[in-house]
Amino acid sequence: MLLVAHGTRSAEGTRTARELADGLAARLRRTVEVAYADVRGPTVTEALARHAGPVTLVPAFLASGYHVRADIPAQVRRAGAAGVLTAPALGADRALLPALADRLAASGVREGDSVLLAAAGSSDPEARAEAHTMAGLLGRVLHRPVPVAWAATAEPSVAATVARLRAAGARRVAVATWLLAPGVFADRLAASGADTVAAPLAAHPSVLEALARRVTEAERAASGSPHAVSGAGRAA
C-alpha cells in the first residue's frame, strides 16, 4: 500500500505524512509506504518501480484537484506498473468534521468568534466546491456562516478575508484549517492576522478512519464484492 502526500520541504509536514501512513497501517494491519506527488521524493513513479505486485495507492489529499486528477495518474502511467488500484481522495466527507472541529477548539476559538475555513486553493472548480461543502457543514455545527478563503491559487486570500471580517465588525476571527499537514500553506494561515488558527488535521483518528474506509471500499469494489459501498460517508 502506498500513501501519496503532496510533498513539502517542512520536516514537520514530512513527519505528518509518515504518521498518516503508520496510522493507516495500524488500522489495516498492512505495510504502508509513503510517496509524494510533488516537491520531494520518492515520487509515485519511483515508489511503484520498487514493487512488482499489486499496489493500492491512497491519495492523502483533502480535495480532488490537479494532483489527484492528473498528476498522480500520470506518474502511475510513467511507472508502467500493473495492478495499481487508486482509492478516492478524502474530499468533502462529513466524517472529517470531528477532526476539523477538534483542531478548531484546541486553537482557542471562542463563542461569538467569526470563523472562516482556510483551504490550500486550486484552479479546479470541483476541488474548490469541496471546500465550500465542508464550510457549509462546519457552519451547521457552529450555527454561524463560515466563508471560505485560500492559502494560494484562488481568491479571496485568508489574510484578505480576515481583514474583511474585521471591517464588518468581527472582534475576533478564527481560522478553521482545511489542510492535512504543516508546510508553506499552514505558515501563510499563521501569518494571516487571525486571532487563532487551528492546526492541520494531520493524523486525527477521524482522518485515519476515513482513509482506511476508502481503501476497504476501493478494494472490495475492485474484487467485485457485493458488499462494496461506493462513496459511503461522502457529504456531496
CATH of the domain at 164: 3.40.50.1400
Could you give the percent of the chain with pLDDT greater than 90?
A: 75
Assign 3-class secondary structure to 175-206: EEEECCCCCHHHHHHHCCCCCEECCCCCCCHH
Same domain? For 55 and 133 the reply is no
DSSP state of 68: I
Same domain? For 51 and 67 the reply is yes
Same domain? For 82 and 148 the reply is no
Q: Is residue 229 part of a domain?
A: no
- Region 214-228: what's the mean pLDDT? 79
pTM (2 d.p.): 0.89
Same domain? For 107 and 181 the reply is yes
Shortest CA distance to 4 belongs to which of 56, 51, 66? 56
Indicate if the pLDDT at residue 187 is higher than 50: yes
What pLDDT score was predicted for residue 235?
A: 37
What pLDDT score was predicted for residue 209?
A: 97
Q: Is residue 131 part of a domain?
A: yes
Same domain? For 81 and 121 the reply is no
Q: Is residue 236 part of a domain?
A: no
What pLDDT score was predicted for residue 230?
A: 33
Same domain? For 135 and 154 the reply is yes
Q: Is residue 67 part of a domain?
A: yes
pLDDT in tens, 92-109: 999 999 999 999 999 999
Indicate if the pLDDT at residue 203 is higher than 60: yes
Q: Is residue 235 part of a domain?
A: no
pLDDT in tens, 48-91: 998 877 999 999 999 887 788 888 999 998 988 778 999 999 99
Q: Is residue 230 part of a domain?
A: no
Same domain? For 131 and 190 the reply is yes
Same domain? For 103 and 63 the reply is no
Same domain? For 100 and 188 the reply is yes
Which of 6-15, 29-38, 161-170 has the least mean pLDDT?
A: 6-15
**How many domains is the chain built from?**
2
Same domain? For 19 and 81 the reply is yes
- Total residue length of the chain: 236
Q: How confident is the model at residue 233 (pLDDT cuts 50, 70, 90)?
A: very low
The CA distance from 48 to 17, in Å, is 17
DSSP state of 3: E
Indicate if the pLDDT at residue 236 is higher than 50: no
Q: Is residue 136 part of a domain?
A: yes
Phi-psi region of 91 (alpha: psi -120 to 50; beta: other; left: phi over 0): left
Q: Is residue 209 part of a domain?
A: yes
Which of 122-126, 127-131, 175-179 has the least mean pLDDT?
A: 122-126
What pLDDT score was predicted for residue 18?
A: 96
Same domain? For 118 and 148 the reply is yes
Same domain? For 21 and 61 the reply is yes
Shortest CA distance to 19 belongs to which of 205, 179, 185? 205
**109: domain range?**
94-197
What pLDDT score was predicted for residue 82?
A: 79
